[in-house]
Structure 1
């Protein structure tokens, strides 16, 4: 009896300071500093850090759950901050608080913590005991080579990262403080030995012993003095691989996406990355130049990732900071470190710029740019960052500040509204730019070396749509008709007669009433070629304005890429390949041979893909029901009676629509055996040929409505812009007339709730 009382009392007083945890990647700024177990409560002590002024909230559905236990124990109370209310982070940027849960069963040795909602904080494998540790606790961290600062080996709860692979512990033997560890990876075994000496790790693999340190900053790091050089564009691929620290399948996340910008066609591709059961991932990615890419997932969102054609980067994510291995490790560490010198942060400068005039704003940003450059030069003189990192950062400072200067008409009105607490829909007009405003732009922005800078793609976009320059200009038939001869335009006898009249009598695109019908017929017959030519003329006129207003030369990488994006973006986004003659004409002024060849090859690939897509199936081109326009929606839904219907109003030219369709594709595959239909509705603004080419890539039911029919539905669902999604239940009732942007798992729950 005394033993039983003692056991209960012992459990009631159990305290674990800084418990070992497994996966803590959903928010690494949330730390458990203590767990206290009593016979009446389980108390978790937290320390959370965030930017002052940001807010956190502990929701009612916060829980803990014993590993391998079925029941969740939901929160009872909170000490230190309000419960289920927004708590604004103090100036210190840190909050300490306690969460109180029901008591655990005595046999529970490992628990999970989480919030039962999408995007909620989650921490897995919180250890209440350390009985199952194969190695001393001090081993479980990342270890860096003392002589060069490279990540050599990392010991985690169930795995070891070594040689850019993820290994399982097969056997651990010890003799004194020396451990012999046998590792297993896909049938391959590796034996290593390691021992701790004065806080450092002496490690031996197949070669001589290496001294490893837990703090990378204390390592000697050789500085690479080589720089990037021509060619900056090449046809190659990069390998992105890595490990999610202490990954567990209980996360329910099996994939991630890597967002890769294509500077030639101005698109962004989401590359699917599959996560293996042990948390390892590997993906080979077509890549044409050194660039920054962006990891997007439920686990972690990382921006400090830089890839180079022909090289591999191995990355450990899910901890406080990402860790790197491979040829690009040092460069990624350096560029990540250089984020600290950034001077322009919108939230910190908005009070200063809110009332600035254009040249005042430009002068202020120039001052910040000079400070940032001086800091970069100082860091480089310390001989601690590579020449490549210095080269990339120097270029990016130039381009990012140029972008910010060209965004005066966005940034200053937004700052003014924020500082004066005006509503978002309040209209604030920015002051007009003076004539000399763009003097900061010169021909050094036209050099191919700028491809190294992450901000160059944005710079191209800002130049394409520079304020007060990108305006409609006139053209006339005498200009269009001769240029049409350089495309696939093949006039028949009627066309030639019309041409003769226009060349003799017309100076503009205005047509007298006697020839209006003939003109309309001609324009419809040759609309594709006419559209290409008018875009070509407007582009050439814009280049002339750029040169006179800013001084950017007619030739160079900047003009090549603007042309490339304007010509190839519709080809890629709308799956509308261009005939070879027309493409050769449109690209005749592009100097860079790689860009030109890439577009030709891409055009050929799109042509082939359109043919393949039409054979794949999974899409259905439906005729619009023959009813009055105001009955169209009900008539369409009647075809899917007894099913949940997700209706997506979209258009072939709508980039957010296409992005959303791509994002939701995995969900459609996940729900393919369920009673759900995805219905896509567009109107005549989606060109018929483009529509016919694109719909085979979008699995679902498709409808292309007439203008009147679309306007009825736009009024019915208050469609002010697209994309616009509507959810209909099995009974045909609209349960959500406008689904806001949500992630796939939340959309899945919404759909399944209406089965």
Structure 2
């Protein structure tokens, strides 16, 4: 599978997979003559249909044939299928083992015609499936032994699939010789790399012509190569960095950090003539991943949530919601309180507080050159009289959180000098309680509006490159952004789903609503199964926190997993370890999961039913102390604690299932 695919099942909405219940066939039967003839001379039955979104079940039936006499009872096959859903950008995985006659059947939910990765021990290719239709695959072992074509197709998309073997070898980059590829691009500039990929692409397109496939197969293979080219160009910086690092390793040079310039807007001019907005791209598995890459073309900039409701969102709520007179008063108050609506007097006092803070930093005499540069950058914005309060506070937080300032660990008492200016102007406690209740009630709407605003800038950036702000690419960026919550087992709010109604196709809202409802049912079922336990951290001094956390499990081996809901590698590692947990639990091993407040509470509650063990959600201060105590530089981070409460092992990053089993096994006996 190509490097872009995420080999983790993030969300599966499946309606069951089962062995086929059709007439048994002798294990040493042969492929039907009609199938052999069609495979040898494929013919397009009709022109390609323009893909249309319509969720349904695509069925793949298969059988192993051509077994030698006497091997019927060993005729079993494990089949995996991976579907990259373009609407959600979530890879859904399915697996089944054939019966003893070599038969299998998989039902795969899809949103339109497209590619599915079909994998066995000996066959690993994308095949074309269609919702509402059945495709049949024959695996002829006798033909394989004789070096003949041994994978043949019948049913839906047979003509396309029967040409896969010849066409699949045509690639822009040969990943079977990845080291040679890295060697060939080492030291290239971005422009040189683009020329290199385009030359490889042209060669591949000629190779397709040479094979003379059917018109449909030719069109889809060329479209696949176009998307492979996009993918390679999107990941240019990553590959050039890997190439430079590999070259340094081979030459024995010191391991200094490799810096590759980030692409500018001009680099992405290839998108204007690409099929990124072509509905036929839905046939291609890479399309959803390329859509995802389009979200990140714009240069990165920090985003800080200051917790102050934006006037535009409050105005939207006033215009669309049946507010009471009291709620309207709360909304008007919050609009007036917003940073950008401060009076000149309040803004002047705020600027003075910020100036006093920067002066206190400079007077420490501890600022490095990098720290001085961070402070100078902030002062430039502070001295600009046109910079409003919200932008100033954002710039201050960026300054304080810059590595150069943060590493100094300076006291921040001077923040008090302007902190009162952030307090509400109306001190009435009963009124403020009403404001908080109002904010909580309408927070889902404001969150949905914020999410839409956050995604708009990348959309505008993309539109300026491809010359339009309309089309499939913009719809799918929106649906993929909405689907992020589904990855973390967090149901979408009604407000988030309502925003999908703004898209031209009603399919999007209906489809994601169905997925959302299925997730709610799944979460409720998981909660009722148990196996996970929510614990409250003991109220002890932070120096004694870890000892207090493991005290209830004295006399048992403990695997401690530091994680958070937003950490993809953490979630992937948990899924990898999950099959081994029952055996470890039978040995008395305790699984202790530690997250912190950066994991949204609702998301944390929704995810942990899938993660059997003891769960704590610590405060940020508590987690920071544990990071310092154990020197934790990132997550996932693992500790193994023996029965006497002594740490025997630690690992930054998932070391693998066998390593975990070995280390825990040493102390669980």
TM above 0.5, yes or no, is yes
Q: Residue in 2 aligned with 1:509?
A: 390
User: Over residues 209-268 of structure 1, what are the superposed CA-to-partner deviations in whole Å (9 max), with x where a residue is unaligned?
Assistant: x5999xx99x842322534313343211223454689899999x9977543322222222
Q: Indicate the residue corresponding to 2:526 in structure 1.
A: 613
1:221 alignment partner in structure 2 = 41
Which is worse superposed, 640-649 or 325-334? Answer: 325-334
> What's the CA shift for 1:684?
0.5
The reply on whether 1:579 has 2:407 as its aligned counterpart is: no
Give 1:447's aligned residue.
Answer: 278
**2:217 maps to 1:389:** yes
Do the aligned residues in 1 keep the contact of 2:296 with 2:458 (CA within 8 Å)?
no
Q: Following the alignment from structure 1 to structure 2, what is the Cα–Cα distance between the partners of residues 446 and 471?
A: 29
> TM-score if structure 1 supplies the norm length?
0.63
Alignment of 1:629-648 (within 5 A): 629-648=542-561
Question: What's the counterpart of residue 607 of structure 2?
Answer: 694
Q: Indicate yes or no: 2:342 matched with 1:427.
A: no
Q: Using the TM superposition, give the Cα deviation of residue 557 of structure 1 relative to its aligned residue in structure 2, in angstroms.
A: 1.0
The Cα of 1:540 is off from its aligned counterpart by 1.7
Greater fraction strand: 1
> Is 1:360 equivalent to 2:182 in the alignment?
no
SS at match of 1:373: helix
How has the CA–CA distance of structure 1 residues 636 and 330 changed in structure 2, closer, same or farther, with 3 Å as cutoff? farther
Query: d(CA) in 2 for partners of 1:579 and 1:486?
Result: 20
Q: Does 1:556 align with 2:471?
A: yes
Cα shift at 1:192: 10
Query: Residues 650 and 483 of structure 1: is their aligned pair in 2 closer, same or farther, counting only changes over 3 Å?
Result: farther
- Structure 2 vs 1, CA of residues 244 and 701 (structure 1 numbering), >3 Å: closer, same or farther? farther
- 1:655-705 per-position Cα deviation (integer Å, ceiling 9, x unaligned): 222222233333334555442222221001011122122222322211111
1:191 Cα shift?
Answer: 7.3
Q: Answer 1 or 2: higher relative contact order, Cα 8 Å, separation at least 6.
A: 2
CA separation of 1:188 and 1:561: change in aligned 2, threshold 3 A: closer
Pick aligned residue for 2:481 from 566, 587, 590: 566
Residue in 2 that maps onto 1:106: none
Q: Corresponding residue for 1:335?
A: 164
Contact 1:726–1:739 (CA<8 Å) still a contact in 2?
no
Distance 1:465 1:244, change over 3 A: farther
Q: 1:301 and 1:642 mapped to 2: Cα distance? A: 49
Deviation at 1:528, TM superposition (A): 4.5
TM-score by length of 2: 0.70
Q: Is the 8 A contact 1:369 1:397 kept in 2?
A: yes
Larger deviation, residues 241-250 vs 528-537: 241-250
Report the Cα offset of residue 440 of structure 1: 1.2
Q: Call closer, same or farther: CA 1:275–1:620 in 2, change over 3 Å.
A: farther
- Is 1:715–2:596 an aligned residue pair? no
Query: What is the count of residue pairs matched by the alignment?
Result: 549
Cα deviation, residue 437, structure 1: 2.1
Residues 580 and 657 in structure 2, CA contact (< 8 A), matched pair in contact too: yes
SS of residue in 2 equivalent to 1:736 = strand
Q: Pick closer, same or farther for the CA change 1:713–1:435 going to 2, 3 Å.
A: closer
CA distance in 1, matches of 2:336, 2:191: 51
SS of 2:576's equivalent in the other structure is helix
Task: Identify, as 1 or 2, the structure richer in helix.
Answer: 2
Give the superposition deviation at 1:450: 0.8
CA contact (8 A) 2:58 2:109 kept: yes
1:613-658 deviations in whole A, cap 9, x for unaligned?
A: 3323221111112222233333222222343322222111112222
Counterpart-to-counterpart distance in 1, 2:389 and 2:167: 55
Contact 1:477 1:509 in 2 (8 A): no
> In the alignment, what sits opposite 2:311?
478
Q: Does 1:535 align with 2:448?
A: no
The answer to whether structure 1 residue 234 and structure 2 residue 59 are counterparts is: no
| Distance in 2 of aligned mates of 1:602 and 1:591 | 19
Does the 8 Å CA contact 1:488/1:582 hold for their aligned counterparts?
Answer: no
Counterpart check, 1:302 vs 2:134: no
- Whether the 8 Å CA contact 1:263–1:457 is kept in 2: the answer is yes
| Counterpart contact for 1:476–1:508, Cα < 8 Å | no
Corresponding residue SS for 1:587: helix
Q: Distance in 2 between matches of 1:353 and 1:261?
A: 29
Q: How does 1:205-216 map to 2 (within 5 A)?
A: none
The CA deviation string for residues 719-742 of structure 1, in whole angstroms up to 9 with x for no partner, is 222222333344443332127646
Q: Describe the shift of the 1:457–1:248 C-alpha distance in structure 2 as closer, same or farther (beyond 3 A).
A: farther
1:597-676 to 2 correspondences below 5 Å: 597-669=510-582, 673-676=586-589
Contact 1:399/1:455 (<8 A) preserved: yes
Q: Which residue does the alignment assign to 2:240?
A: 412
Q: Answer yes or no: is the 8 Å Cα contact 2:31–2:138 preserved in 1.
A: no
1:285 partner SS:
strand
1:284 aligned partner: 107
C-alpha displacement of 1:518 = 3.7
For 1:591 and 1:415, the matched residues in 2 are separated by 43
Question: Which of the numbers 438, 455, 462 marks the counterpart of 1:546?
Answer: 462
Structure 1 residues 155-194: aligned runs within 5 Å:
none
Q: CA deviation at 1:559?
A: 0.5
